[in-house]
Structure 1
């Protein structure tokens, strides 16, 4: 790893990992809340809906928040079946009413038994795990463990089992797990180590990662995300995914 790349990524990490990054990014959605469960629910939904223009993603998430009366966790716990009719017109790209209603059903069932969504992401994970592969595989199984789950919704929850890079879920985990004093990531989960996170590999990150020689695989899949993360661990073994800020920022702002 050249000194130039190290210096560039450290500089851009500092430049983009600050509160000014929040308003124009989907992470602004969970930042609307203080309650842990609200942060988890809307953070997860914002991450899953994060494809397309960022402003559109934010607007659609705000629409969902309004449909849940501004209190996602309370709505999830206490809604009546009649309250679900309001979601019949909700749609974002290929995410439709069926998907929305199943997400609500999953959250209601899960939070009836658990205090934090973190519990859904740690099955199979041990302190010796080098990444979250087994946890993401088990999460996908748990998410679709309810009776009569809609098969169409499975396309929205990626899994390493299908060699997906799982970029949206990896981004959500970054939000929940990373801990620093910058004010962007939340760091409200403690059972997953930042060192175990895998870098979200979206089109910006992938493009810049290739130009910097951090990615050599031809296609973007789970092994590509792992390759990128292993190279970033050369820079910071304890917190490699902090460089997601730098790679994404370099890409989206047109630096590379």
Structure 2
């Protein structure tokens, strides 16, 4: 199966612009043979905690219809990031859009301290089927704890799908941690990061994939959008440019 980490510059609070970029990415990744895509954390709104409450969207929001239609048309599954409203508060959500099936919902279970004023944690793990794999999503901070991936593996996961917004410092930490996850759990890891401004941070890109032995297979650059395709059947990965249109 080919999985794709989509690296984007996220437009602050501009859901329509971000959706348009998602649609370009879905079409181009599908043309390269991707069956599963992962986008950066809070990819539909940008990583903007102070705007999360006003931008929060439920899974059945009409704004998401074009994304579901694209997944149906191209036969791909796409894990997109968005703030999601709940009775307890806003969660850092991931919506897994599957072709001609109801979407799956996951929410970040372990929040960073500076997120606690804006978000509440999720409480439910998720492992879902995609192609020949059982896939476990992880969202940024929680993915830096081995027990998160180990719990997913115990639930049957054999591919770790990581969605982040990381600075240069965070990427350095991830580049040391994710190979250990892959090696210790014998589970490939694919990670999608953003580039450019995100709240008070700057996304450092360098989206990457590691095989089940912890070898870095490919990595994108630190400033430009791109697609990184991991082929788990061949144990290879390849970087591609991403054209976002006018």
Which structure has the larger Rg? 1
Higher helix residue share: 1
Work out whether the TM-score is over 0.5. Answer: no
* Shorter-chain TM-score range: 0.3 to 0.5
Give the TM-score, by structure 2 length. 0.33
**TM-score, structure 1 length as denominator?**
0.32
